[in-house]
Structure 1
Amino acid sequence: MSIQLGGLVLLGVGIWVKVDSTSFVKVLGEATPHLMQLINVGYLCIAVGTFLLLMGFMGCWGSVKESKCLLLVFFVFTLTLFIVEVAGAVVVLAFSSVADIFIEHLKKWAMKSLEEDYERQEDLTAIWNTTMKELKCCGFNNYTDFSNSYFYQTHMEYPSVCCLDDKPCQESEIDSNKQGCLHAFQVFLSKNGKIVGGVALGIGVLELAAMAVSMNLYCKIGTAS
């Protein structure tokens, strides 16, 4: 049931993001502004949510019908997901180069979106504006990320979120206290790492519980037959 609930939540969020991103931005911006990046992964939320929903349904249906086949498939899928999560955590913790590679790919995407898509794509612009405003940052590295951007070439000014007076400005009026969003996000993670770890631990416990229940039912069905 917990897996089904998680899948339903993710599916709902994904559909909400893709159908009405404006209201999602407003609600999420007011509740947890640091998680605005979720709007970038609407389709991923839909895919993962659907997968978890199907897995949860498979487990429930298998227990109701006492189907050893469905219970075993559910157990294998959940175990695989758990192993992948643990392996990913171990790799990230053990090999800092993996994090560097991820950041490098993230940087390429961020630079491309700031230079080519900022102000051209409404949703993407809203994401960047909200992120920079709430994290009190400018650009991915700093304000110079906008120097060769479509926005700067069009207006010959930097975005208002980077400026002292909260309106488009020249380089001399840039707010020097605002660093890049990468640095701001790293600071946020360092302050909230325990919360992230707690959520991950909770997910792992739920998966272990689901596997234990499914295997217990599988063994009982085998004994009864």
Structure 2
Amino acid sequence: MQCFSFIKTMMILFNLLIFLCGAALLAVGIWVSIDGASFLKIFGPLSSSAMQFVNVGYFLIAAGVVVFALGFLGCYGAKTESKCALVTFFFILLLIFIAEVAAAVVALVYTTMAEHFLTLLVVPAIKKDYGSQEDFTQVWNTTMKGGCFNQLLYDIRTNAVTVGGVAAGIGGLELAAMIVSMYLYCNLQ
């Protein structure tokens, strides 16, 4: 029974951390959506490159809500020993895990597609907006300082291993959380 208590406590603490990370993502997402200019001032010209191609604020809000809810479900399920919350936590985490594995497979299979994406979408954007939009021009000037488009592609390929390693680590944590939630679920009266 001590093993059960220890795992339950660890599940609560781990999911409390996840809950707080979700709240932080949500707060940053709201901040970026409301006042993107201060975000750019704090993090410099490199932050505006992400702002050019993706609406980071809405992405962070969506990710924050999911992580916040997931942390809450795990924490609540372990604390109150709610089978419903634990199984919901498990299935949401399982769906996220399956989506991540699918995305990794697609990324590995279609690595050349990323190069085509950059060639077809980014190059025309550079031709259109470079020189006419100050932030966009500054980002690309910083990006191209000592390098060129081929260097950017090289950096993407080089960092793919790091990104893959981080993704594998996150996947391992997700598997562990699913195993722990099922252990708690199966050992509840």
TM-score by length of 1: 0.63
Question: CA, structure 1 residues 46+118, in 2 after alignment: closer, same or farther (shift >3 Å)?
Answer: farther
Matches within 5 A, 1:157-196: 179-180=148-149, 183-196=150-163
Between Structure 1 and Structure 2, how many residues are aligned?
Answer: 171
Question: CA, structure 1 residues 16+133, in 2 after alignment: closer, same or farther (shift >3 Å)?
Answer: farther
- Provide structure 1 residue ranges, at least 5 long, that are not aligned to the other structure: 138-176
Give the match for residue 209 of structure 1. Answer: 176
Write 1 or 2 for the structure with the bigger share of helix.
2
Runs of 4+ in 1 over 6 A off after TM superposition: none
Partners of 2:130 and 2:142 lie apart in 1 by: 20
Of the three residues 98, 104, 128, the one matched with 1:115 is: 128
Question: CA, structure 1 residues 84+98, in 2 after alignment: closer, same or farther (shift >3 Å)?
Answer: farther
- 1:74, CA displacement in angstroms? 0.7
Helix, strand or coil: the match of 2:187? Answer: helix
Partners of 1:78 and 1:3 lie apart in 2 by: 12
Contact in 1 for aligned 2:130/2:137 (Cα 8 Å):
no
The CA deviation string for residues 155-179 of structure 1, in whole angstroms up to 9 with x for no partner, is xxxxxxxxxxxxxxxxxxxxxx763
Give the match for residue 165 of structure 2. Answer: 198
- Provide structure 2 residue ranges, at least 5 long, that are not aligned to the other structure: 1-14
Share of identical aligned residues, percent?
Answer: 38
Q: Quick one: higher RCO (CA 8 Å, sep 6+), 1 or 2?
A: 2
Partners of 1:26 and 1:64 lie apart in 2 by: 42
The CA deviation string for residues 128-159 of structure 1, in whole angstroms up to 9 with x for no partner, is 2342132126xxxxxxxxxxxxxxxxxxxxxx
TM-score by length of 2: 0.73
Q: CA RMSD in A?
A: 2.9
